């Protein structure tokens, strides 16, 4: 065989490898950004096939003006015109009872009060007083600690302003002490900051898409925060940690959005190991709560050696209640049009109670966001988790 032929074969192999690499990058870009392969190819080529630069360019071009129409409508609404919030709809509470949220009288959700309440903006009808007390008593008792964890799907810009108002409706209704959010974009978090002024925001980044932790100022004091990078992430993921105090107790609050897609199992398990290690390293006098979109399959938890000693999966600890098992459910949630049914427990809460001093125990869990908005979509393609703890 001549050297010319061998050289030609080598060049063909190089071109084939380059094409395969770039196709993979396009698929990954499209998955992260929610765009198609043509858009992915354009932004990657414009940015010399650098994934991070391409994503940042995409977000800057498409996301900054997501709420421009919303802000313009707000200006008009000063005259008193009202806008609708969520439709009346049913959702299950932990007792299995259906509760009904009637919000057709809601105008723009405003969280500017230091202690937002749901009485002026959301009417809650329940079929018995026990179901009502399951939610409201947790906020009334100072000894209870409450959280919401939610992947809000900020990368999906369809009806995003109305979906953000939907999130605000739940913050008004449940008044959680801490909110763990994943898949935020800059315009989304700026929208929240204008409305949820009773919360302090700790952010995992300031561009692209990222996580954040919201802390109710009247109940939580922030001591310090840090961002822990995942060295081999291909999807801009990290671990956000906030050290806080609540009623004199020390808490380590953590959130993350672990690597997505089935074929990223190895990277996802690496990231889970980082989380578990940080939970184990936290001081013994501190309670550690991780809440976020883990994208985990149960077999992956087993493969990393299971939960560390002293760490529990809150859903399992509360009896593995079926009504709040699936946080990603394409059978019930129509925001994503996929040709298959997928029901997974992607969103999870892990707890390591303080080893010395007062402890924290799980009390109550329910899924939120199961009501369609007036736009015909849900607040997110994930259900959120509302959870309370005894302290």
Chain centre distance of CA 143? 26
Instruction: Tell which residue, 273, 205, 187, 270, has the closest CA to residue 52.
Output: 205
Confidence bin at 29 (pLDDT 50/70/90): confident
pLDDT digits (tens, 9 = 90+) for 153-206: 999 999 999 999 999 999 999 999 999 999 999 999 999 999 999 999 999 998
CB 40 within 8 A of CB 33: yes
At residue 34, does pLDDT exceed 80? Answer: no
Instruction: Tell which residue, 374, 375, 369, has the closest CA to residue 152.
Output: 369
**Is this model's pTM higher than 0.85 or not?**
no
* Cα distance between residue 186 and residue 300, in whole Å: 32
Q: By CB neighbour count within 10 A (0-12 exposed, 13-18 middle, 19+ buried), where does 166 fall?
A: buried
More confident residue, 117 or 43: 43
Catalytic residue among 139, 177, 293, 313: 293
Tell me what pLDDT residue 384 has. 98
3-class secondary-structure state, position 134: helix
Q: Please give the domain boundaries of the chain with CATH numbers for all domains.
A: 3-62 (1.10.8), 85-390 (3.60.10.10)
pLDDT digits (tens, 9 = 90+) for 226-268: 999 999 999 999 999 999 999 999 999 999 999 999 999 999 9
- 293 flagged as catalytic: yes
CB 25 within 8 A of CB 51: yes
């Amino acid at each position: 065989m001549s050297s010319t032929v061998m050289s030609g074969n080598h060049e063909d192999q190089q071109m084939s490898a380059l094409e395969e690499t770039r196709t993979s990058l396009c698929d990954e870009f499209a998955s992260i950004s929610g765009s198609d392969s043509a858009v992915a190819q354009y932004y990657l080529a414009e940015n010399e096939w650098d994934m991070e630069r391409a994503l940042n360019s995409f977000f800057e071009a498409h996301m900054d003006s997501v709420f421009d129409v919303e802000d313009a409508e707000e200006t008009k609404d000063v005259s008193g015109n009202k806008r609708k919030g969520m439709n009346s709809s049913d959702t299950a509470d932990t007792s299995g009872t259906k509760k009904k949220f009637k919000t057709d009288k809601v105008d723009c959700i405003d969280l500017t009060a230091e202690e937002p309440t749901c009485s002026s903006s959301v009417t809650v009808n329940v079929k018995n007083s026990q179901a009502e007390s399951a939610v409201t008593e947790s906020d009334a008792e100072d000894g209870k600690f409450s959280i919401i964890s939610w992947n809000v799907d900020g990368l999906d810009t369809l009806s995003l302003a109305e979906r953000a108002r939907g999130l605000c409706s739940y913050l008004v209704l449940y008044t959680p002490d801490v909110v763990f959010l994943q898949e935020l974009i800059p315009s989304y978090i700026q929208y929240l900051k204008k409305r949820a002024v009773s919360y302090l925001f700790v952010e995992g980044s300031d561009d692209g898409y990222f996580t954040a932790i919201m802390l109710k100022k009247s109940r939580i004091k922030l001591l310090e925060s840090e961002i822990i990078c995942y060295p081999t992430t291909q999807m801009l993921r990290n671990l956000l940690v906030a050290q806080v105090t609540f009623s004199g107790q020390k808490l380590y609050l953590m959130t993350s959005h672990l690597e997505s897609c089935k074929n990223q199992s190895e990277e996802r398990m690496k990231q889970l190991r980082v989380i578990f290690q940080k939970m184990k390293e936290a001081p013994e006098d501190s309670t550690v709560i991780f809440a976020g979109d883990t994208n985990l399959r149960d077999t992956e938890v087993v493969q990393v050696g299971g939960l560390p000693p002293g760490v529990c999966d809150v859903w399992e600890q509360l009896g593995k209640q079926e009504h709040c098992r699936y946080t990603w459910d394409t059978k019930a949630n129509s925001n994503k049009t996929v040709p298959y049914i997928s029901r997974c427990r992607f969103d999870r809460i892990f707890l390591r109670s303080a080893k010395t001093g007062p402890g924290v125990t799980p009390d109550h869990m329910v899924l939120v966001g199961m009501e369609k908005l007036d736009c015909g979509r849900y607040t997110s393609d994930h259900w959120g988790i509302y959870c309370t703890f005894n302290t």
